[in-house]
Structure 1
Amino acid sequence: MRKSTTIFYFIFLLLGVTQNLKSIAQEIQKQRPNIIFILTDDLGVGDVGVFFQDQRRLTNDRNKPFTVTPYLDKMAQEGAVLDQYCAAPVCAPSRASIILGQSQGHANVRDNQFDKAINNNYTIGNVMQMIGYRTIAIGKWGLQGDPKWSKNGTLWPAVPMKRGFDEFFGYMRHEDGHEHYPHEGIYANKKQVYDGYKEVSKDLAKCYTGDLWTAKAKQYIINHQKGPDKNKPFMMYLAYDTPHAVLELPTQAYPSGFGLDGGVQWIGKPGHMINTADGSPDSWIDPEYINATYDDDNNPATPEVAWPDIYKRYATITKRIDNQVHDVLKLLKDLNIDQNTLVVFTSDNGPSIESYIRNEPYKANFFESFGPYDGIKRDVWEGGVREPTIAYWPGHIQSGLKISNPSMSYDWMPTFTDVAGYKGPVRSDGVSLLPELTGKGVQAKSNIYVEYFNKGKTPEYAEFTPAHRDRERGQMQMIRLGDTVAIRYNIKSPNDDFELYKINEDPKQAHDLNKSENLKQLQTYLKGRVLQMRLPDSSAPRPYDDSLIPANKIIANTNGWSRTEYNNKTPWISAPKGGVKSADVKDIKLDRLASSSVYFDGYVNIPSDGHYTFKMKAQGKAFLKIHEIAAIDEDYNYKGEEKRVTLNLAKGYHHIRLYFMKVKGETPDLKLAYSHDGTRFKDVNSYVPINRIKIK
C-alpha cells in the first residue's frame, strides 16, 4: 500500500472515530429529555374534559352546560393523568412551592403574599441549569419582590434570571397578570411585559397573552433546535395567566394548522409581534359557544335560554388554552423531538369566582369547574386544591395511564432532576414521580400537606355538601394519609380536631368520620404529624406555630448513629441511593471520610419539654432535618457561617437526619450543638444520649 494511501486511510479512520464519538455524545445528550412545564391560572380540575366535563356532557342533561377540550383529552389519552394536589389554593404561594420544590410548611411565600421575593435557593430553574440544561420562564411570574416585602423595593431581587432561568419573557409583577392585553384592555397602558430586563409592552399592540406566551414558547423551541445548543436539553416554565378572572377574549379564531407551519407564530415586528395581533381585542367567541343555550329552569317544557356572556367567555378561553397546548405539542412532533420531551400540564389552584367584567358575576358552578368535589380557589376542600394534571412523553409514558396514587405539585422538582439522571435536593419536600410515570422502579409516597389563611367563605352552592356552604375559612390545613384526608377550617387552637374523610369513597367530603367513630388516637397523631412537617414563618403566623412538636414512640433501641457514606454526583446535597453500606457509630465524626458525602440517621433523646436551639457550622455543605422539618440549610450558596433554629420539642426521642457533603479545597468539618431554653450550648453527641431506634 502506498504511503499516501495509508495516510488517507488513517485520516479516514480518525474522522470515523471522531464522528462516532460525536454521535455517541449526541446520543447521550438525547437521553436527557427536554422538559416543558405548562401552568394555567385558576383552571379547575373540572374544566378539562377527561377530568370531568366529558362526564357532564354524557349525562345529556340540558340543565348542565359543558365545555370541550379535545386536544387536552387527546394528550391525556396518549399520556398519563394524575391525582395531583397544588401546595396552596391561590397562585403566588402555589407557584412558589412548585418552583422551590417545597410545601407551604417550608416555602417562604405563603398565604396571599403576592410579589414577595421567592427565596434565593434551589429552584426548578437553577437545578436544571446546574446539570446542563438551558432554562427559560415565559408568562406570569409575580415572585420578584416588592417594597412591601423588601427593604429596597427599587431593585427586584428575585426576577427569574436571578432564580435559575437563562431567559424570561412575560409579566414580572403579579397584578399585571390580571390583564390579558398588556397594551389595551381594562388596565390599558399600565401593564409591563419584560424580555429579560427590558420592558417591551409598547411593542405588543393587540397581543392576547395566551397567544403571546405560546408564540414565544414556540419561537424559543424552534431557535433552540436551530442554534448552537441544539444538542443541549432545555427546561421551559410556561406559566399562563389565563383563564384568570379578567376573562378577556382573543382577537380572532386560532390560526389553523398548528405546530411548525401553523398555529400562532412569532412575527417579531413591533406593533405586530404575533400573527393574531390584529382585529379587535376582546372580541372573538368560539363558534362552539356563540349560540349555546341551556335549560336554565330545569323544565323541558319552557324554552332554553342563551348562556350568559361571561360563560361564553370562560368556555372560549379554556378551549383557547386547549389549542395553545396542542400547538406546542404539534411543534414538538414537527421537529421530531416529541419522544425526547416530557410535557406536564396542570393548574396553580382551583377555579375562581372572580370577574373583572363589569356587572357580570362569575359562578364556578355553571360548569362545575370544581369537578366531582366541593371547594374553589382559596379552599382546601378537594375542589380548591385538586388540579387537572397530565404528563405526556411518547415512548416513555404508557398511553392512557391513570395514576391514582396522590401526588403534589412540589414533586416536579425531584421528578425533573430524576428524568435527567440525578436525585433532587434533600431540601425539597417532593418525591420523584418518574417510577410511576414510566413503570420503572419503586414509587415513593408523596407528602400531601397544605396550609393557608383566607378571610372569606366557601360559596353557598347547591352542589356542595350543606356543611361546606358559606363555611368560614380562616386558618386552614390539610394532610392526606393513604385514603384519609384530614381537614381543619377556621383553626383557633392547635387542639382543634381534624375532619376526616375516606376520599376515594367520599369525594365530596360529606361524611366526617370523626363524628361517627372514636378516633382520638388518630387525631393525636395528625396534630403531631403536621407539626413535624413544617417551620413557622413570622410573616404568615399560625395558631399552632409554637406548639410542642411530639416525640416518636420507640419500640426498640440501639446505641449510636447509622452512618452512611456515599458519592454524591449532584452539585447539591441529595440523599443516598439504595444499596449503600451503612455502619453504626457512636459519634458524628467526619474523620476518615472516603466518599464525597455522609449521612447520619438517629434519634436525640430530649430530656424535657421546652425550646431547643440547634446551631450548626460546616466546612463543606450540610443539611439538618428534624423529623420532616428542614431545620438548618447549609447547602445552597453556603459560605461557612453558623446557622441556628429554635424548636419547641416535647420530651422523648426526635428523629434527626444530618447530611454532609465535601467541598473541594476545604477540610471537612461539622459542628452541631444545641441548648435548652438558653442554657449553655453543648455538642449534640455529649448533651444527651443519641440512639438509632425503631419507632411507631
Structure 2
Amino acid sequence: MSQESDYSFEQKTNFIIFLTDDQGYNDVGCYGAKNIKTPNLDLMAKEGMRFTSFYAQPLCGPSRVALLTGSYPIRVAEPGNSKSFHPKLHPKEITIAEVLKTKGYRTACIGKWHAGETQVQMPLKQGFDYYYGTPKYNGNSKLIEQSPHRSHILRNNDTLMVVNTVEEMGQLTKKYTKEAINFIKRNKTSPFFLYLAHNMPHVPISASEQFRGKSEGGLYGDVIKELDWSMGEVLKTLREEGLEENTLVIFVSDNGPWIEEKIGDHAGSAFPLRGSKAQTWEGGVRVPAIMRWKGKIEEGLVNDELVTTMDFLPTFSEISGAKISQELTIDGKSFNDVIQNNGNSKHDKFYYYAYTHLQGVRDDQWKLVIPRVEKPGYMKWRGRKIDAVKEIQLFNLKNDKEEQHNLAYQNPEKVKELMALMEAGRIELGDHDVIGEGARFFDNDTKTKRIEEFNKWKNNIKE
C-alpha cells in the first residue's frame, strides 16, 4: 500500500482504541457496577456515546484479530494456511494500522498483542511504527507462579524484561499508560492511531501500590480502578495538548469476563447477561463500549444499535479518507453515521463463533442458537467452557437480552429464516468442519493443512 508523501497536518482525526482484557459488561459504573468505581469512564460516557449492543469475539486472540482486520477470525489468513483456535495473523493480512499509514498516520501498539509470536507476525510487521508491550499473556491461573507462561516486555524488537512476579504484573498498567502519553505528545502535530491494549484484568491480576486495597471490589476492583485512572490520564493528555476535538477515543473490552472456579473472585461480571468468556451467550461477546469525540458525538447518548470491533477498520477508513482495496473482503461496517448522526447500524447479521465453531446468528433483535454437544472432543481442553444445547434456541434480544425465554416453537418461520442465514455463513466463512469459500489462504499449499486438521478433529469428536 502506498503511503502519502504530504505529511502536513490537516487536522485529520486521530484514533485511540483503549482495549481491556476480560472486562465484563457489568464491570463499569455506567453499566451498573456496584462495588467498582469508574469515574473517568462514566464521565466519558456522559460526554459521548455508550453502547449496549456492542460485540467482540468470545476470546482474546480471535477478538484481537477481528479488531485489527475488520474480519471474522475464521476468514483471516494464517501462516501455513491454518485456521487455528487462537489465530495468528499472516503477514499479508491488512490491518487498521496499514490502512491508516497510507494517509500519513503515525501508528503505535502499546500493550498485549496476542495475534502471533514470531517476528513477522508482530506489530512492526503489521503496520505499526512503534511497539511496547507483551506478545501474549501470562497464563490462565490466579497466581503467576502456577503458570508456565511468562510475558516478555518488548520495545519494538528488543526484550526489556521478563514478567516473573505479581508485583511486576502490577506495573503493566502504569507502564503502558506512560508509553501511551509519551506517544501522544510526540505525535501531536501528526495524525496518529494509538492501539492501547491493556493486559488487565486478565489473570493473573495485579495493581500497582497506588491502587492496591483502594476499591470496594477487592483486588479485581483495584485493577479496574487503575484502568479507569489510565483512561483518565489519556483524556487529560488530549485536553492539555488541544487534541480533544480531533480525536475519536474508544473504550472497549475484548470479550466477556472469565468466570471459572479456579479464577474465583479474580473475575468480573457480565450481569445481567448469560454466560462468560469462551462462550457465545451474550455474556461472552457483548461488551462495554464507550466512544467520545468532542464536538462530533452528541453528549450523553445510549445506543442499542448492533456494532462490533470489526467495524473499527471501515469506520477509521471512512473518517480518514484512507482507501480499502476493493479486492479485500471484510465483515465490518462503518459506524460513522451511528456516532455522528445517531443513525442506524449497517449490519444485517452477526455470527457467533466459539473458536472456529459457528454456534449462532443474530439478525436485528433475533438470535438463533443451534444444538451442540458439551465440551466437543475436537476442541480438546479449549472446549471446557462449551455447554450443551439440546434443541434450537430462539431469543428476542430486545425483550430478553438475558436469553431466558426460548421462542423457537412460537416462531417457526423466523427459525427457518435464521437457519438459512446460518448456512450462508457456513458456506462463506466456514465452520469447524467446513472450509469457507470466502476464507483467506495466502500460502502455496492452499488449504492442505486446513483439510488435514479437519480430518484429525473429526476423528476426535465424541458425541
TM-score category by the smaller chain? 0.7 to 0.9
Note the C-alpha offset of 1:178.
Answer: 6.3
Taking a change above 3 Å as real, the CA distance of residues 84 and 133 of structure 1, as seen in their structure-2 partners, is farther
SS of the residue 1:73 aligns to = helix
Note the C-alpha offset of 1:83.
Answer: 2.9
Which residue does the alignment assign to 2:332?
Answer: 430
Which residue does the alignment assign to 1:531?
Answer: 423
Distance 1:419 1:485 in 2: 31
Distance 1:165 1:98 in 2: 15
Please list the CA deviations of residues 19-44 of structure 1 after superposition, one character each: whole Å capped at 9, or x if unmatched. Answer: xxxxx996x610x1110001100000
The answer (yes or no) to whether the contact 1:111–1:453 under 8 Å persists in 2 is no
Taking a change above 3 Å as real, the CA distance of residues 491 and 105 of structure 1, as seen in their structure-2 partners, is farther
SS of the residue 2:354 aligns to = strand
Structure 1 residue ranges (4+ consecutive) displaced by more than 6 angstroms after TM superposition: 109-112, 177-181, 184-189, 202-205, 631-634
SS of the residue 1:514 aligns to = coil
Instruction: Tell me the amino acid that sits aligned with residue 285 of structure 1.
Output: G
Which residue does the alignment assign to 1:630?
Answer: 438
Say how many residue pairs are matched: 422
Distance 2:98 2:287 in 1: 25
Which residue does the alignment assign to 1:120?
Answer: 92
The answer (yes or no) to whether the contact 1:341–1:393 under 8 Å persists in 2 is yes
Identity, % of aligned pairs? 27
How is 1:20-99 mapped onto 2 (pairs within 5 angstroms)?
29-30=10-11, 32-53=12-33, 57=34, 66-99=35-68
- Give 1:131's match in structure 2, choosing from 103, 112, 125: 103
SS of the residue 1:533 aligns to = helix
Which residue does the alignment assign to 1:224?
Answer: 187
| Residue 245 of structure 1 pairs with residue 203 of structure 2 | yes
Distance 1:384 1:111 in 2: 21
- Unmatched 5+ stretches in structure 1: 1-23, 58-65, 146-154, 254-283, 290-310, 455-474, 547-625, 646-696
How is 1:103-252 mapped onto 2 (pairs within 5 angstroms)?
103-108=72-77, 113-114=85-86, 116-118=88-90, 120-145=92-117, 155-172=118-135, 174-176=136-138, 190-201=150-161, 206=168, 208-225=171-188, 230=189, 232-252=190-210
Distance 1:389 1:537 in 2: 26
- Give 2:234's match in structure 1, choosing from 317, 328, 342: 328
Taking a change above 3 Å as real, the CA distance of residues 442 and 382 of structure 1, as seen in their structure-2 partners, is closer
Name the larger-Rg structure.
1
The answer (yes or no) to whether the contact 1:120–1:158 under 8 Å persists in 2 is no
Which residue does the alignment assign to 1:681?
Answer: none
Instruction: Tell me the amino acid that sits aligned with residue 541 of structure 1.
Output: H
Please list the CA deviations of residues 268-326 of structure 1 after superposition, one character each: whole Å capped at 9, or x if unmatched. Answer: xxxxxxxxxxxxxxxx211x43xxxxxxxxxxxxxxxxxxxxx5000111111111111
- Give 2:414's match in structure 1, choosing from 509, 514, 522: 522
| Residue 490 of structure 1 pairs with residue 393 of structure 2 | no
The answer (yes or no) to whether the contact 1:374–1:381 under 8 Å persists in 2 is yes
What TM-score does the superposition give when structure 1 sets the normalisation length?
Answer: 0.55
Instruction: Tell me the amino acid that sits aligned with residue 415 of structure 1.
Output: T
Which residue does the alignment assign to 2:271?
Answer: 371
More helix by share: 2
Taking a change above 3 Å as real, the CA distance of residues 389 and 189 of structure 1, as seen in their structure-2 partners, is closer
Instruction: Tell me the amino acid that sits aligned with residue 488 of structure 1.
Output: I
Note the C-alpha offset of 1:487.
Answer: 1.6
Please list the CA deviations of residues 318-349 of structure 1 after superposition, one character each: whole Å capped at 9, or x if unmatched. Answer: 11111111110011001111111111100010
Distance 1:203 1:246 in 2: 11
Note the C-alpha offset of 1:408.
Answer: 1.4
Distance 1:48 1:415 in 2: 25
Distance 2:401 2:310 in 1: 23
Note the C-alpha offset of 1:93.
Answer: 0.7
The answer (yes or no) to whether the contact 2:361–2:421 under 8 Å persists in 1 is no
Note the C-alpha offset of 1:478.
Answer: 2.3
Please list the CA deviations of residues 452-502 of structure 1 after superposition, one character each: whole Å capped at 9, or x if unmatched. Answer: 159xxxxxxxxxxxxxxxxxxxx5512111111112352699xx9641111
Instruction: Tell me the amino acid that sits aligned with residue 411 of structure 1.
Output: D
Distance 1:111 1:92 in 2: 12
Instruction: Tell me the amino acid that sits aligned with residue 244 of structure 1.
Output: H
Note the C-alpha offset of 1:113.
Answer: 3.4
- Give 1:380's match in structure 2, choosing from 280, 290, 294: 280
The answer (yes or no) to whether the contact 1:87–1:450 under 8 Å persists in 2 is no
Note the C-alpha offset of 1:202.
Answer: 6.3
Distance 1:446 1:322 in 2: 33
Distance 1:372 1:411 in 2: 25
Taking a change above 3 Å as real, the CA distance of residues 285 and 111 of structure 1, as seen in their structure-2 partners, is farther
The answer (yes or no) to whether the contact 1:100–1:122 under 8 Å persists in 2 is yes
Instruction: Tell me the amino acid that sits aligned with residue 347 of structure 2.
Output: K
SS of the residue 1:43 aligns to = coil
Instruction: Tell me the amino acid that sits aligned with residue 436 of structure 1.
Output: V
Distance 1:25 1:86 in 2: 35
Could you say which structure has the greater relative contact order, defined with CA pairs below 8 angstroms and 6 or more residues apart? 2
The answer (yes or no) to whether the contact 1:246–1:355 under 8 Å persists in 2 is no
Please list the CA deviations of residues 364-409 of structure 1 after superposition, one character each: whole Å capped at 9, or x if unmatched. Answer: 5xx7x11221111111111111110001110111101222111111
Instruction: Tell me the amino acid that sits aligned with residue 532 of structure 1.
Output: A
More strand by share: 1
The answer (yes or no) to whether the contact 1:83–1:403 under 8 Å persists in 2 is yes
Alignment root-mean-square deviation, CA: 3.7
The answer (yes or no) to whether the contact 1:99–1:123 under 8 Å persists in 2 is yes
Which residue does the alignment assign to 2:3?
Answer: none
